[in-house]
Amino acid sequence: MKAIMQDRYGPPDVLELREVPDPVPGPGQVLVRVGAAGLNAYDWHHLRGDPYLARLSFGVRRPKTPIRGRDVAGRVEAVGAGVTRLRPGDEVSGDLGEADGALAELVAAPEAHLAVRPAALTVEQAAAMPLAGTTALRGLRDVGGVRSGQPVLINGASGGVGTFAVQIGKALGASVTGVCSARNADLVRSLGADDVIVYSEDDFSRVDRRWDVVLDLVGNRSLGDLRRAVTPDGIVLLSGGGVPGGGGLVGPLALIVKVRITRLRRRRVVDFGAPPSRQHLEDLLGFVAAGTVSPVVERTYPLADVPDALRHLEQEHARAKIVITM
């Protein structure tokens, strides 16, 4: 099979399209013929080994897993021992977690991480959903406890997670304010945002407004700024994904490190991650079925052009989702 391989950290040029042996599904795994794979900021950070602290997880000298790609959608080709829920021919999507491997023609994926893809979703839309969509859902519904009528602010509303967060916030009944660039303001409004703050024109931490939930998906503001934007009984949510270009030892994780150091004094600031969860993905698909959430795909690239796709993600501040097709 063909796969995008990474032997060392660096720019997109370190990636190579190679012929490698087909994977064999082990116990609890299914072999998926990949139809599409979604890109995330996670993939850029893994490519660069950025921030350096993340290499303790990714691999200190080189990536532990040579085939990139975390979000996958495709068709089950074969099943391993102990697989009971899925069978060959099923159309599925899911988050592979740190095992990666989606940027290939075939991948051996844990059955527990995969949900059946509804016929109403294209394979590209399904590939765009797992990590970004479940991050937004976990943050707003589970950690933030968003309720009907609450004011919610999303910093980074036009990005991969942000486009889901705007829609999920509205589906939960919140009044949603999105923070984005001027060129993305219309997109954020079209997703249902009640208000849009263009960051080059206004500073959300300095306006005469406060929000019950502030979801920060960018990592470019201080804890003081974020706390100033939240109501006295509100909550600030930090997503660990960050954005490309953080650099340094900890990059956008610096905010999270500060939160954990000062946890006892800063109870209203919570960092959260989004480990692979079939239940969260199925819940998200429920919103899709109800017509309240729809994945937004900005652009697709063929497998051979993954380096160009990652350059776009890194340099051009891609909005919504970038998807790789096979």
pLDDT band (50, 70, 90) for residue 56:
low
Rounded Cα gap, residues 4 and 18, in angstroms: 7
Residue 253 has which token pair?
A: 């994780």
% of the chain beyond a pLDDT of 70: 87
- pLDDT number for residue 116: 97
Between 52 and 151, the higher pLDDT residue? 151
Rounded Cα gap, residues 12 and 77, in angstroms: 30
Residue type, 184: N
- Average pLDDT value over all residues in the chain: 89
Within 10 angstroms of residue 263's Cβ, the number of other Cβ atoms is 12
Q: Side-chain half-sphere of 97: how many Cα atoms within 13 Å?
A: 15
- pLDDT number for residue 248: 45
Least confident residue range of 58-67, 93-102, 209-218: 58-67
pLDDT at 272 over 90: no
- pLDDT number for residue 60: 66
Taking the model in full, what pTM does it have? Answer: 0.91
pLDDT at 267 over 70: no
Rounded Cα gap, residues 298 and 320, in angstroms: 6
Rounded Cα gap, residues 66 and 45, in angstroms: 14
Rounded Cα gap, residues 196 and 153, in angstroms: 9
Mean pLDDT of 6-32: 96
Between 248 and 218, the higher pLDDT residue? 218
**Domains of the chain in sequence order:** 2-129+295-325 (3.90.180.10), 132-272 (3.40.50.720)
pLDDT band (50, 70, 90) for residue 57:
low
pLDDT tens column, 276-300: 899 999 999 999 999 999 999 999 9
- pLDDT number for residue 236: 93
Strands 175-180 and 195-198: parallel
Mean pLDDT of 299-325: 91
pLDDT at 258 over 90: no
- pLDDT number for residue 53: 67
pLDDT at 172 over 80: yes
Mean pLDDT of 237-265: 52
pLDDT at 257 over 50: no
Find out whether 74 and 104 touch, Cβ atoms under 8 Å.
no
- pLDDT number for residue 59: 63
Mean pLDDT of 93-101: 91
Mean pLDDT of 192-201: 97
